[in-house]
Structure 1
Amino acid sequence: MDFSTSVPNTPGIGSSISHNGNKVSSLNYHNDGQHLFVATEDNSKITLIDSIQTGKTKATFSCEREGVSVISATHNDYCVLSAGKKQNSIQYWSLYDNKIVRKFRGHTTNVHDISFCPTEDMFLSSSSDTSGSIRLWNLQQAGCMAKLDLPTDKIGSGGSSGQNTHAVFDASGMVFCAVAEMPKNEGHYINLYDARNYGGGAFSEWKITTQAIQDAMKIHRITNNPLSNDASSSLTINKVEFDSTGDRILCQSKEGVALIIDGYEGTIQRIFEPSKSLSTTSKGTVSCFTPDGKSVLMGNDIGTIDVYDIQSGSVVKQLTVDGEGNGNDKSDVGVTALACNPKYQQIASSSCANTCLWIW
């Protein structure tokens, strides 16, 4: 994606799809780039958007009984995986005939991550189960293929509220990453697994300590350090993503900052924060890699999307959802979800008001 300063390469909003004030909790493109799936948690609905031909809604589907907060495309252009906060199951949903084909049960708390394998009919899920488990599934069977329980000395002290774990496949589908909290707020474990031999354990195990994050924040001149006032606190990771090459891992935190981790050495390459925010700790930030792996998009609570160049660490472009760029306090313009089209020059950003499709 070209974010140079010349006018022909400036992305602008090509279309806007209203969600009637319902907050978008999850966005996911199909791998062919033709469809965008949007989950609005407040009203338990999935919106299917024709992202290329019309830029408009094709259909809307309701899942009141299970709820919808997380959504993932599959290999089929009209089938998705979804999970909500009303049940602890995952739904394999055929939108073509609006039917739930299969339910995947096993988690004891709400599922907050679903990562579909790019090459096989497998997917990973993670939740706040007290065991800190991550599960691997096959679309063709209801029971999970594997349950990765991290050792008790490798999970935090979440108690009955559970553990903060996340898992995601890389673009090749051959490797997946699992992230879990270290005890006593000491940081995070990042483990890499061979998807064909996960039973043998992780082939790489890294520690991203709170002290290492603090040091990196000083090096990269983070102005709103969310850990500065409490030496015993640590970041809460709420999203993990590989870039297209597997060379880097993005760890977005609930506190607003995003870590870029070297995919081979497990070291912190960059730390990014939003350039503007209503909050001194930049809470509510969302981020994602661009398909070429050269940039990170970071949206904040005032509707600005910063485009960070990973190599230089600088902001090369700012996209403003409200079209004014003045930082107005509008509760409906804050960016709640971001995604890049894997095949076309297009960005999707969502708020409580709408989903915007940005085109060049």
Structure 2
Amino acid sequence: MVGTQSEKEEKVSLELTEEILQSMEVGMVFRDYNCRISSMDFHRTSSYLVTASDDDSIRLYDVSSATCLKTINSKKYGVELVCFTSHPTTVIYSSKNGWDESLRLLSLHDNKYLRYFRGHHDRVVSLSLCSRKECFISGSLDRTVLLWDQRAEKCQGLLHVQGRPATAYDDQGLVFAIAFGGCIRMFDARMYEKGPFEIFSVGNDFSGANVVKFSSDGRLMLLTTTNGRIHVLDSFRGTLLSTYNVKPVSSNSTLDASFSPEGMFVISGTGDGSVYAWNVRSGKEVATWMGPKTEPPVIRWAPGSLMFVTGSSELSFFVPDLSKLAAYAGRK
């Protein structure tokens, strides 16, 4: 994407450190969006990235060649959240039209709907796919969380919540989390109907839940809330390890955050459009990238790569600046 092939290989072989994180800069930007990017997702095993935008478009990128492969418009239904299935050109996405809250299984290859998932009666605000099985969960402002099988149109399970829910599967697909009302509820995916097997508190933060995520090894969790806080917890004990405070977001925005691949760092947007990075072990802020936007960007770290991507009214790829790293090594 930026630099020679040998430079790319050197980047991949480097272990992420604070110095590498601090050196990261925008390597490339796609500025052809007319509206805010509302969601994006990396495919787990390919080099593909998919984005959803408020201009009702879904775009597929090949990160390895830095090209936009396809743009598909969803003018009739709108689009807000999008996630890859196990197939690199098949996605599930949520509507944003106010009259049809169905989820859709879409083939990006030939722009065909493969299945509709009907059951929610208000806007879907959380969507998480299981990486090991063909199932997923969705959370809605109708105060329900629905469990789905990609092969069936009707939901396989229903859970009631008290507030806006944030949902996430762990990497193994054995556990899923539902956050709302200042707590994270942990469910065994095989026996969810028995209720949560653990309930973790995040202190006195009872504001609305934005996103909940597991680290790739499943040992950590993060929760972002509407009052501008990012909580990191031990996912086994529920111990609150650290809390980071950023500028709160508006009621129409979502505070997003992402673990780095090995779980050592958390990167997050903020209400003024900036991006921050923290060291999970020390809890200290280690890097800041100032943004000109007033909306918090959507953030995803590329799996197994020294690259993260932010989406606001443009799509920005952050990669290490090798010249900065060489200068740092020289000073040492």
How would you bin the TM-score normalised by the shorter chain?
0.7 to 0.9
Once the two structures are superposed, what CA deviation does each residue of 1:233-285 show, in whole Å capped at 9, x if it has no partner?
Answer: x32111111111222211111221111122122232111123xx59899x864
Match of 1:18 among 12, 21, 31: 31
- Mapping for residues 43-192 of structure 1, pairs under 5 Å: 43-52=55-64, 54-86=65-97, 87-129=100-142, 132-150=143-161, 155=162, 163-181=163-181, 188-192=182-186
Amino acid paired to 2:196 = A
Provide the TM-score with structure 1 as the length reference.
Answer: 0.78
1:358 corresponds to: 318
State the aligned residue count. 303
Matched, 1:342 2:312: no
1:256 corresponds to: 228
1:300 corresponds to: 270
Question: Sequence identity of aligned pairs in percent?
Answer: 23
Matched, 1:315 2:285: yes
Alignment partners' CA distance in 2, 1:280 and 1:174: 34
Alignment partners' CA distance in 2, 1:278 and 1:193: 29
Alignment partners' CA distance in 2, 1:48 and 1:114: 18
Match of 1:289 among 254, 259, 265: 259
Match of 1:205 among 199, 203, 221: 199
Q: Which runs of 5+ in 2 are unaligned?
A: 1-14, 321-332
| Residues 82 and 69 of structure 1: CA distance in aligned 2, closer, same or farther (over 3 Å) | same
Amino acid paired to 1:30 = H
User: How far does residue 301 in structure 1 lie from its aligned partner after superposition?
Assistant: 4.1
Instruction: Kindly indicate whether the alpha-carbon contact (under 8 Å) linking 1:191 and 1:205 is maintained by their aligned counterparts in 2.
Output: yes
Instruction: Kindly indicate whether the alpha-carbon contact (under 8 Å) linking 1:32 and 1:343 is maintained by their aligned counterparts in 2.
Output: no
Instruction: Kindly indicate whether the alpha-carbon contact (under 8 Å) linking 2:168 and 2:177 is maintained by their aligned counterparts in 1.
Output: yes
Once the two structures are superposed, what CA deviation does each residue of 1:188-233 show, in whole Å capped at 9, x if it has no partner?
Answer: 23221111222332221234452xx4xxxxxxxxxxxxxxxxxxxx
Secondary structure in 1 matching 2:19: coil
| Residues 105 and 284 of structure 1: CA distance in aligned 2, closer, same or farther (over 3 Å) | closer
| Residues 331 and 316 of structure 1: CA distance in aligned 2, closer, same or farther (over 3 Å) | closer
Alignment partners' CA distance in 1, 2:20 and 2:202: 39
Q: Which runs of 5+ in 1 are unaligned?
A: 156-162, 182-187, 214-233, 322-329
Instruction: Kindly indicate whether the alpha-carbon contact (under 8 Å) linking 2:228 and 2:249 is maintained by their aligned counterparts in 1.
Output: no
**Aligned residues: CA RMSD:** 2.3
Alignment partners' CA distance in 2, 1:75 and 1:64: 26
2:49 corresponds to: 36
